[in-house]
Amino acid sequence: MDQTQEQTESADVLRPRVVDSIRILLPRVLGRDVPPPAESACLFDEVGLTSAHTLSLLLELEEELDIQIDVEEIGQDDLGSLGSLADFVASHAVEG
């Protein structure tokens, strides 16, 4: 198995954990109750995330999942929805 295939399989295993963790961490990061959003939910418009909240959420995800997230390549599209953020995190995470 080559390294790219291993990374893809690792991301596939990590992604559901990322989705669950985002749903759990959002109320803590936002400081208010939030119903668990759908993967298609817009994090900024529907959930109320801000840039500062996003940074806090990424730091909380690193701690919760014991990973390091390479955020150098994160783009606005990656922050569009819960699902797109989970895709980014799962594919840019390095085990801590």
Q: Where are the domains of the chain?
A: 3-95
Cross-strand partners of 9: none
Mean pLDDT of 66-84: 93
Q: Report the distance separating Cα 84 and Cα 88, nearest Å.
A: 6
Q: 82, 41 in Cβ contact below 8 A?
A: yes
Q: Give the model confidence (pLDDT) of 8-19 as tens digits.
A: 567 889 999 999
3-95 placed in CATH 3.50.50.60: no
Choose between 9 and 61: higher pLDDT.
61
Q: Is the pLDDT of residue 28 over 80?
A: yes
Q: Report the distance separating Cα 22 and Cα 71, nearest Å.
A: 16
